Chain A
Amino acid sequence: MRDLRRLLFLALAVVMLSGGSAWAHHSFAMFDLEKEVTLEGVVKEFPWKNPHVWLHILTPDGKGGTTEWGLEMGTTGMLTRTGWKRSMLKEGDKVTVVLNPLKDGAPNGRLVRVTLPNGSVMGPGGAPPPPKS
């Protein structure tokens, strides 16, 4: 578990260190990067668009309805280079997400990772793995 946490921290660090423009313009300050929230929900939409891809999921609100969460990811190119395909998620798919929530409490966040219906765990997109030496 500690190793996993270290790995995740490193993955985040790589994203933050990568000097990518898309991550750079606006502050991370709206997200609480110290806080990770885990949610289960179903996919509402997965717009494969730039500057960033977003994953929208519906979660039970405890009152018989649903809450829509918008989760920010990387660019389409970053996702492609870290193993994503647009077809990996479709409307209605059940997913588990881990996110850094907005500090203001609104139901948006930065996606940390998502577990797909087939059980594979995918990241938010970032630098591609280094070349095999």
Chain B
Amino acid sequence: MTLQTQLVLRALLAEPDVQRYGLQLCAETGLPAGTIYPIVARLEQLGWVHSSWEDPHEHVAAGRPRRRYYRLTEEGAQQARDSLARAYRPRNKPRLGPAATWPDVPGMSR
């Protein structure tokens, strides 16, 4: 999984029940629009992400064009947590590895 995809998943996982629109994902991940859209399209194909148009009453009341909202599906949220955990483990290992073998020193917390 690419770093960009991880960033998108982390943004969506931050509050899994909150719907986000494209520009919002750009802002939260720091990624450009051209990167965000292919990623959410792919995640939607996989069934990890669900997208839907904003309720007409809301965007009409706000006086702007309607937004396309994205949020994680239940399965997507679980998959995202699992794959983010997998993605981070190998990179974290070298740093944590030696530490795990240190002998416990009384009075010293890690």
Do A and B originate from a single complex? no
Question: What is A's interface to B at a CB cutoff of 8 Å?
Answer: none
